[in-house]
A and B are shown apart, each in its own frame.
Chain A
Amino acid sequence: MATVPKRLGVKFSLIREPQLQPLDIVPIFQRWIQQHTVDGMLIDVIDYKHVPNGPGIVLIADEADFAYDLGDGQIGLHYIRKRSLPGDLPSALRQCFFYALQAARALEAEAPGDIAFDFTSAKISFLDRMHYRNEAAKLDEIRAELAGCIADIYGAPTEVTREYDDPRRLFAVRCRAQAADVDVAAMMERLQASMQKA
């Protein structure tokens, strides 16, 4: 069984660059705090849009960060779970996918038609160099477990590849569902059901 990393992230990228500017996200995230739009103990919003390819605008919560992320030249919603991760990797992944989807959908609802995510693909980051050095061998070691788990999440077979070659960077994988589109609502329902069961 693969170790649960100290922190775990899931990022969905936008299909295309939106009209909405990163600065416009600040009031949206501020409102999310007021209205508890996403789950978690939401603390504050921080603006890093001045940093190229950086975390963009970040909604800081106690358990997780929600970033309108500009990293890798791909705008997206990056959910990073920092605390209270479940004790096994499949459960941790399900948890992260669920909250990332919840936030991405909430963001789509803020600017319908303009903000649109590609949910068929996600970047999964393991923020834990003690247990996850960014090496090809690491992916080989956990590929079967990871692919199986992500296939369960998607309800479709998935392809998993390593995201960065640079061994100093975080171990991250790109997963792609072998499907033209995904039914996000069904996916979230499945995730929620399994989270409740756990």
Chain B
Amino acid sequence: MSTWKELLSEQIPAEMGNLIDIYEAQMELRKQGKLDEKVFAEARLRKGVYGQRYDNGQRHDGVRTRELAYPSDETVKGPDTLWDAPGMQRIKIPYGGLTAEQLETLSELADEYSDGILHITTRQDIQLHYVHIDDTPDLMRRLAAVGITTQEACGNSVRNITACALAGVCHDEVFDVSPYADAMTQFLLSHDDVQDFGRKFKVAFSGCAGHACGLVKMHDLGLLAQTREINGELQRGFTVYVGGGLGTVPHQAKVLAEFATEEELLPLTQAIARVFARLGEKKNRNRARIKFLVAKLGIDEFRRLVEEELQTLPSDERHSAYIGNLSDFTYKPAKAGMALNGRPLPDGFDDWYRSNVYHQVQAGYSTITLHTPLGDFTSEQGFKLADIARRYVGDNIRLSVEQNIALRWVANADLPAIYRDLCAIGLGDAHAGTIVDITACPGTDTCKLGIASSRGLTAELRARLIEKINLLPDAVRELKIKVSGCFNSCGQHHVADIGFFGNSRRSGNHKMPHFQVVLGGQWQENAGAYGLAVGAVPAKTVPDALEALTERYVAERADDESFQVWVKALGRKEIKAMLQPFMQLPSFEDSPIYFSDWGDSRVYTIDDIGVGECAGEVVSLFSMEIAKAESTHFEALLALDDHDYSLADENAYKAMVLAARALVRTKYLDVGDDYDNIVDEFRSRFYDTELVFDRFAKGKFARYLFKRHGTAPERINEDYAHQIIDETQLFIENVHSAEQRINGVIVS
């Protein structure tokens, strides 16, 4: 055994393995220049393979912009994105749920393909940075072997589906949303109806209306657990929110349905996806999120369209099949629940207990939060944490949207022991969920769009706040701070008490890193309100401005007055006046320190900002589908090289069907996967109408498909394999030309 593909062939589910093989073939085609760079970029993004800062081959070193001469030279993995430049791999962890084994595999991958660090995102994903694209297929195979996929982790698709980290153990939840999040993840993954979006689509589940965890109101689709009584029976369902989102222009989601039953949940989601795919903006990516469509149409018209779509939705047994399996979704604690007894407790335990321990609804158990600074932990911590999990909680590990790790089902009697064990691996920090537990996006560290160093600022604020955390009044201790490196809000600054997002200002001839201060956002009530931008302060004065702000809040607040209420009462003008002393811009000559960002000694510049891949390129559905046909054709070629002629035939035939399907789906989305159906539809829509006919060869190339579909070859040998591969190539070309003739430009 010498490759991961061979070694893990038994463990990788066939479908997952096939998708990875297709991606690997697409990589090869791109390297050979045979796959359009935009199409490949979107295909790569849909595998979670993301660009990183400086991948355009340029970096300002503080003195001048230098060329980074990657060996790949001209080969690109997307527009302006050099092949050899390190990138980021995003790994979907649905609702943040991890097993100990998965944690170990992730840790292995961080060691071997990244820099030994695992990063938790605000969407409960794991990200590995500085990954070489050539390593990504094996990385994906090793994940697939333990049941993790990166499919649709980025790109214009359904991103990781999030849910409260406390789902299933929470006192306030209506019911456990985890199995629903799981069912929806499986239903939507690679679903035909989520392949043609103009932008990404984010889904979240929440178990209750009052608390923050699920943040449903800031999502493209938010599902809030509800029950109602029908004929004396309690029925489960969801209030369905649609069109929320942060980004540059935050939108609060609108209620699409007050109560969607379990049976309605998946078809309704599918119908929403179809309306979004059909009517959502495709050209202007800045207005392509569903929130703009909902705003443009109005929620009533959007609802009408969704209802209309529901009427024509093809029936699908998966819509309701999952309901029968909901009861299989159970938790296996490692130990019986037991009360905490009065033994001598380790040093620091009380502080930790106060902030990091949540008593579950199940008697005798707690969920503990492991505070990971900046969302980072090492592979070594990952291995040891897997041991701790096995010892105390089994596979009950969750990542949270606050970039922390929750261990659930800890027997209360074990709390002192687990605390000791966590301290031994550096994960026993107290103050989870307090003002020191700051959320930050990657910012200028690795993000191409970063304007200021969100992580640098966060590290600085955290260090300063930790020093005095025990002196802070509770009202300040409980505040939430969130930091984004730019206006795109990946750090969720809109829903924090105190949010910051990076921007820049000019002083003299120099740029100075700044942070816009956003106050009074609401984390509670599922991101119930967005904050107000009150002015930009230089990055270097943010810590002092924060101190002034919190001190004034403590001094002036009425009893129990929340930060949001206080901010509102004070008003934007007064707050701006308070921040004014921190907004002064010294000259470069007087205070050069202001002209470097936190954690970066270089003189600040915005020259390194690149073109983001958050949205990916808007690539037509046809381009994505025909690319699959091309990579399957490529696999046929590889099989031919390996003298595996049967496999060559199988792949060539499949490639022709995929090409036909790509064309059919431009007119008929629901053609499905059945070969007979696809060929019939292709024949009636494109062959009988002569739409696919070549000017000179007429229907000859399409007949290659009909021939192979009608009769399996009697003898498969090298000559035959050669021939069918050539015919497949001609047929794919024919489909390309036909599509251009029929639908116009392919890649927008």
Contacts and interface: CB of A to CB of B under 8 A. Distances in A.
B7 interface: yes
Contacts of A65: 115, 130
Interface stretch (B54-62, B310-318, B467-475, B727-735): B54-62
B738 interface: no
**Residue from the set B116, B117, B129 with the largest chain A CB neighbour count within 10 Å:** B116
What interface size band does chain B fall in? Answer: 35 or more
Interface string A14-30: 00000000010011001
A183 interface: no
Contact of B59 (A7, A31, A44, A53): A44
B86 interface: yes
A2 B425 CA distance: 34
B111 A43 contact: no
A26 B600 contact: yes
Interface stretch (B223-231, B270-278, B372-380, B569-577): B372-380
Contacts of B374: 50
Contact of B132 (A45, A51, A83, A128): A83
Interface string A73-85: 0000000001100
Interface in A4-50: 6-7, 23, 26-27, 30-31, 33-34, 41, 43-48, 50
Given A44-B54, A46-B445, A60-B130, A52 B426 contact: yes
A54 B116 contact: yes
Interface string B422-434: 0001100000000
A33 B116 CA distance: 22
B104 interface: yes
B117 A48 contact: yes
Given A44-B53, A168-B104, A7 B378 contact: no
Interface stretch (B67-75, B198-206, B541-549, B709-717): B67-75
A189 interface: no
Contact of A34 (B63, B111, B462): B63
A127 B68 contact: no
**Residue from the set A27, A51, A129, A170 with the largest chain B CB neighbour count within 10 Å:** A51
A58 B459 CA distance: 16
Contacts of A55: 115-117, 378
Contacts of A138: none
Nearest to A27: B601
A47 B378 contact: no
B602 interface: yes
A155 interface: no
Contacts of B61: 30, 33-34
A166 interface: yes
B36 to A, nearest CB: 26
**Residue from the set A41, A168, A170 with the largest chain B CB neighbour count within 10 Å:** A168
B459 A50 contact: yes
Nearest to A72: B380
A132 B69 CA distance: 32
A30 B62 contact: yes
Contact of B115 (A23, A26, A46, A169): A46
B383 interface: yes
B112 interface: yes
Interface of A: 6-7, 23, 26-27, 30-31, 33-34, 41, 43-48, 50-55, 58, 60, 62, 65, 67, 71, 82-83, 127-130, 166, 168-170
Per CB-CB distance, the 10 closest pairs between chain A and chain B, nearest first, are A52-B426, A27-B601, A50-B373, A54-B378, A34-B61, A30-B601, A168-B383, A127-B112, A55-B116, A51-B376
Given A48-B117, A50-B376, A130-B2, 8 more contacts: A26-B600, A30-B600, A45-B600, A46-B115, A55-B115, A55-B378, A65-B115, A127-B111
